[in-house]
Amino acid sequence: MQDTTAKYSVTLYDGKSYNVDKIRFDDLLDLAILKITDSEGKSPADLSAASFLPLDTQVDIGQFTLVMGNSLSNYSNNVTIGII
């Protein structure tokens, strides 16, 4: 369930914190896409975009996967491996 009135922020591994300007959720996929801004409302210039596989990349059952995140907001810099 989404809380449209909540204020969110992102803290990176180096301690820098950014405001979340826009957020889109997909509850079915358990995925959120965020747009972050600095204190002046501008996109941070010192960040680079994450790389993802092209949409037409074949992913097979049995293939290993690696997930990085902040599980339940309690486990920062969390890395989990699994099998599709």
Determine the longest span between alpha carbons in the chain, in angstroms. 46
Q: Which among 12, 13, 37 has a CA at the least distance from the CA of 23?
A: 37
Domain ranges of the chain: 9-44+52-83
Strands (E), the chain: 9-11, 17-26, 31-37, 64-71, 75-83
Tens-digit pLDDT profile for residues 16-31? 888 888 778 777 777 7
Residues shown for the chain: 84
Query: At 14, is the secondary structure helix, strand, or coil?
Result: coil
Could you give the percent of the chain with pLDDT greater than 70?
85
Amino acid at 51: S
Q: Provide the pLDDT for residue 39.
A: 81
